[in-house]
Homo-oligomer: A and B are copies of this chain.
Amino acid sequence: MATAKFAEIKEFILGQIEIAAWPEHSRVPSENELAEQFGVSRMTARRALQELTEQGILYRTQGVGSFVAALKSQSSLLEIRNIADEIHSRGHAYSARLLQLTELPCPTVVASALGLRRNDPVYFSLIVHLEDNQPLQLEARYVSPRLVPDYVKQDFNQQTPHQYLSFIAPLTEAEHTVEAIWPDDFTCKHLILKKAEPCLRLTRRTFSREGAVSLAYLTSPGSRYRLGGHLNFSLQQN
């Protein structure tokens, strides 16, 4: 079977919600109506509604009907937002400055994180992300050449490394660490910090189905950056 019937019904419903034909809390067709419209049995239509309910897209009440759930907080566990999107979504101008994009001999820490051997070639990029032309984040990223062979050929003024990597290899997992650090001179310079100022450093290791893809150090000044949302973490040995 090309695609399962219940999957087609799910897609139809999702499509209607997507184009806002069916707004929040509006009623969706009943099991029987869907069954008739799609020429399937009630159980099949039911399964589509059921799965959408389990995914939080719909809610149902016995004796009443099925309805479109509120959209908030739809983001899945693995949604990792892109800093460009973040800045755009708060109505500011995003730009980036590419400082470096090369191949390096792999440092020890990076080697163990990406499953490489020390001094193996590894791709490295260094980018400053700016919000309204003010530096907001310094991104240092190591990328596995095996999984992303064309990394160094990309134009990261067009898209962020994160966008590119998500496109090339769908992420299956991400591991984060958050630290408060003392920025070094290099970081101070590129973030235009007049004096030493506490910075938030997010270390992000991402995985695709084939293994560890990249290790990124994202450093932002504490005065301009904050992280929030639903977190699930534990204290780590320092």
Contact = CB atoms under 8 A, between A and B. Distances in A.
Interface of A: 54, 75, 77-81, 83, 86-87, 90, 173-182, 197-200, 221-238
A83 to B, nearest CB: 7
7 contacts: A175-B228, A178-B200, A178-B231, A180-B199, A198-B198, A198-B222, A225-B238
Nearest to A136: B235
Contacts of A175: 228-230
Nearest to A77: B232
A22 to B, nearest CB: 24
- Indicate how many identical chains form the complex: 2
A227 B235 contact: yes
Nearest to A54: B54
Contact of A238 (B78, B226, B235): B226
Contacts of A77: 77, 230, 232
Contacts of A197: 182
Given A78-B232, A83-B235, A198-B222, 4 more contacts: A77-B77, A179-B200, A179-B222, A228-B233
B232 A226 contact: no
Contact of A226 (B182, B222, B227, B236): B236
Contact of A232 (B179, B221, B231, B234): B231
Given A198-B198, A198-B199, A222-B198, A234 B179 contact: no
A225 B236 CA distance: 7
